[in-house]
């Protein structure tokens, strides 16, 4: 899973999110699809980290502690 964020400004900001005080937003993407728009870079970084932790938790864990017997 590819998670990334980028700063968007001006006409790149979705119409529904534009406003007089909105000069820039950060878009968080998962596999090139929008996950969330964030008001700050710090919030975007946090969302990326949370998405990566969720993906790690979703992956199956393999028990490698067993003894395979004599070699």
For 6-65, the pLDDT digits (tens) are 999 999 999 999 999 999 999 999 998 998 999 999 999 999 999 999 888 888 877 777
Do the domain assignments include residue 71? no
Do the domain assignments include residue 29? yes
Do the domain assignments include residue 69? no
Do the domain assignments include residue 70? no
Q: How many domains does the chain have?
A: 1
Instruction: Give the up-direction half-sphere exposure of residue 28: CA atoms within 13 A in the CB hemisphere.
Output: 20
3-state per-residue secondary structure call for 20-64: CCECEEEEEEECCEEEEEECCHHHHHHHHHHHHHHHHHHCCCCCC
Do the domain assignments include residue 51? yes
Do the domain assignments include residue 65? no
pTM here is 0.76
Residue range(s) defining the domain that contains residue 37:
3-58
Do the domain assignments include residue 40? yes
Do the domain assignments include residue 63? no
């Amino acid at each position: 899973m590819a998670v990334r964020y980028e700063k968007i400004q001006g006409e790149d900001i979705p119409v529904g999110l534009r406003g007089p005080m909105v000069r820039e937003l950060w878009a968080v993407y998962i596999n090139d699809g929008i996950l969330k728009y964030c008001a700050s870079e710090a919030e975007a970084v946090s969302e990326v980290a949370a998405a990566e932790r969720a993906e790690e938790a979703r992956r199956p864990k393999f028990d490698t502690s067993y003894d395979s017997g004599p070699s």
